[in-house]
Amino acid sequence: MKDLFDNLCYKCSHEVTALYSTSFSLAVKMLSPKIQKDIYAIYGFVRFADEIVDTFHDYEKEVLLDEFEQDLGKALSRGISMNPILNSFQDVVNRYDIDIELVNSFLKSMRADLHKQDYGDVSDYEEYIYGSADVVGLMCLKVFVQGDAHKYEELKGPAMKLGSAFQKVNFLRDLKDDTQNLHRSYFPHIEGTFMDAEAKEKIISEIRQDFDDAYQGILKLPMEAKFGVYTAYIYYKKLLVKLTRTDAEKILEKRIRISNPMKMFLLTKSFVSYKLNML
């Protein structure tokens, strides 16, 4: 009967993904069905931790994060949790033998957001990017390669670069909310709430390089994962194009989005490229 409970937990992770990120949910649907639920489980865990530090302003965030982390530890050691998000996540971590240091690094970055507001030091910025994004890419890579240790080592670098690119695009897109509402400044390229054209170009250039490095890894992914990851890559690249074309001051005034019709166009474009063996 535990299978019934586990299936319910994975469905909860799926619902979390669909509710919080239509774009990521669409990309996951392009993965092989046999690995979709595992990626949903990773996203559900990441999303809940992020919600604690970014959203629950009227509650004791540190207490909530402490309890979330303690419950995760119990779930990993017991192989079960009555928290459905943690139950599906622990199953993925244990089944794929995901390094606990990846999980710890992620939680460390989430915890930093409780108190740290300025990541202007380059080393702080890089450490945060690693913990909040690169390690998530590595967790997903563990699923994509299905236990192939050689393939994992080969693709670690590009997976981290893709995670970095996604996170930096998110930072740039969410600059208004981060600086004005959460009072955080992630980029060492800018000071406080001001970003000029030169600083923006430095950020864009850095992201482009991350995408270029990541693309080489996408080409080598197993077929079960390649189309889904490429779909996410194309979406974020389009978002970067929009940000590039938007004046620096405008980025600080509104959140740049991709319309639903454009998302469907990008999906179709990705599918055609995939079917024509263009990647």
Q: What is the pLDDT of residue 268?
A: 65
For 23-30, what is the mean pLDDT?
Answer: 88
| Mean pLDDT along residues 255-261 | 73
Per-residue pLDDT averaged across 151-160, rounded? 97
Q: Across the strands, what pairs with 118?
A: 185
On the question of pLDDT at 267 being above 70, the answer is no
User: Amino acid identity of 54?
Assistant: D
In CATH, what number does 2-275 get? 1.10.600.10
Among 33-42, 85-94, 227-236, the least confident range: 227-236
Mean pLDDT (the chain) is: 90
Lowest-confidence region among 38-42, 60-64, 103-107, 179-183: 179-183
pLDDT score for 258: 73
For residue range 162-171, list pLDDT tens digits in order: 999 999 999 9
Per-residue pLDDT, 24: 86
- Yes or no: say if 237 and 168 are a contact pair by the CB < 8 Å rule: no
Q: What does the pLDDT read at residue 98?
A: 97
Q: Both ends of the chain: CA-CA distance in Å?
A: 43
Hey, where are the domains in the chain?
Answer: 2-275
Has residue 259 got a pLDDT over 90?
no
Q: pLDDT confidence of 118, banded at 50, 70, 90?
A: confident
pLDDT digits (tens, 9 = 90+) for 48-99: 999 999 999 999 999 999 999 999 999 999 999 999 999 999 999 999 999 9
Average pLDDT (95-118) is 94
pLDDT in tens, 173-220: 988 888 788 878 788 877 766 788 888 899 999 999 999 999 999 999
- Residue 185 has a pLDDT of 79
Q: Answer with the residue of higher pLDDT: 199 or 229.
A: 229
List CB contacts of 217: < 8 A, sequence separation 6 or more.
155, 157, 158, 159, 161, 162
Burial class (CB in 10 A: 0-12, 13-18, 19+), 38: buried
- Nearest-angstrom CA–CA distance, 172 and 41: 26
